[in-house]
Every structure is written in structure tokens, then in C-alpha cells.
Amino acid sequence: MKISGLVLGYHGCDKSIVDKIVATPQHLQKSENSYDWLGSGVYFWLNSPSRAIEFAQSISKNPNKTKDNKITTPDVVGAVIDLGNCLDLTEYSCLIELKNAHKSLIELCNKFNLPIPKNKKLYEKDNDIIIRELDCAVIKTLHNFRQKNNLQPYDSVMGMFNEGKALFEGTQIMEKTHTQICIRNLDCIKGYFKIL
């Protein structure tokens, strides 16, 4: 679905990366992990520099939490983004498309006797399921289907992620709930800026 207008995204990383991205005409590196919940691309928190810095600080304190992100000095880079043709997981028609992609993935796994990917916790004591291999595989299946059928590719994927403990007793609002954006088409990133 085409989303008009520009949005602001924030990426938590090491200060050296922020300085390099802001000073030179280059993009952040795409994430290509099998557990990236929105598939392959550059990840941003929508309108949340505070969540981006919290993430960078968390990785800095727990370097074994991810294999790719080694952060010595936590920082945030902002980006002006045009989402373009967006797989918006808060929009019903996109959810139906994703459900159909899941069905196709299961059929393919069964046909070729492959294990079905699973979402899981990083550590048993974790509250959140952050290793999203199933979600990633379903989204990649959807992108492959669109490519094979000459459908317009999605430039970005956007979804809301419930994370953390409940904010207060009796609620389903979680302390780290956020909207995340995965940019597949780097032309959607119109520019980067440093957070003051």
C-alpha cells in the first residue's frame, strides 16, 4: 500500500557509525539475519529516538545479545524516510496477504520436507520472543511471491511490536511497544541527521 508523506526513523548504533553516515554520502548497512522480524533491510524505530538509544545502550551492556551489533559508544542516527509502497502490518489487507504467505511457506516446507522456522526467545528467562525466524521467513516468502508474479515490490515493511512487561497491572500496553520500519529500497531514505 502506498503511504504518502515523509516519516522520521531512528537507528541505534555505535557513535562511529553515526559519524560516518552523517559525514559521507552512504547508507546504513542492511540487516540480513534469519531472525529479523520484518525481513531484510535497514531497521528504524518510527518517531522514537529514545527507544533507539535505549536499544543501543542495551546492546552496549549485553554484547552477546546480537552477533552483528558491537556498540562501544551508544548513539542514534535519524533518517527522513518516504515509505513508498509499504507492507503496513497495521493495515488489514496487508495482514491478509501475510497470512496467505504463511500458508504458502508451510506448503513449501511440507513439500520439500523442510523444518518450519520457529519464533523463539533468545534466553529462556526472556519475556519477549525476539528471534523471529518464522516471521522473517513468511515475509521473505511474500516478497518472493510478489517478485515471481511481477507485482510491485514493497519498498518498506512497517509493524507494531509489543515488547517488554505490562506498563501497569491489568493492561496489555507494554513498556517497550514500538513501531518498527524495515527499509528494503534504500532510495526511500532521503537523508540522515544527527540527534542533538
pLDDT at 13: 96
The cell numbers describing 150, all together, are 511481477
Q: Where are the domains of the chain?
A: 2-194
Among 12-26, 114-128, 139-153, the least confident range: 114-128
The cell numbers describing 169, all together, are 497491572
pLDDT in tens, 69-95: 689 999 999 999 999 999 999 999 999
- How far is the C-alpha of 184 from the C-alpha of 164, rounded, in Å? 27
Find all residues with CB under 8 Å of 26, minimum gap 6, and list them. 20
* Rg over CA atoms, the chain: 17
Give me the DSSP letters along 126-146: -SS--EEHHHHHHHHHHHHHH
- How far is the C-alpha of 116 from the C-alpha of 91, rounded, in Å? 26
Give, for 97, the enclosing helix (H) or strand (E).
Answer: helix 92-111
pLDDT at 68: 58
What is the average pLDDT across 3-23?
93
**87: number of CA atoms within 13 Å, CB side?**
26
Query: Cα torsion at 151, 156, 160, 162 (round to 10°)?
Result: 110
Q: Which of 99, 68, 97, 69 is closest to 85 using CA atoms?
A: 97
pLDDT at 62: 78
Question: How does the average pLDDT of the chain come out, rounded?
Answer: 93
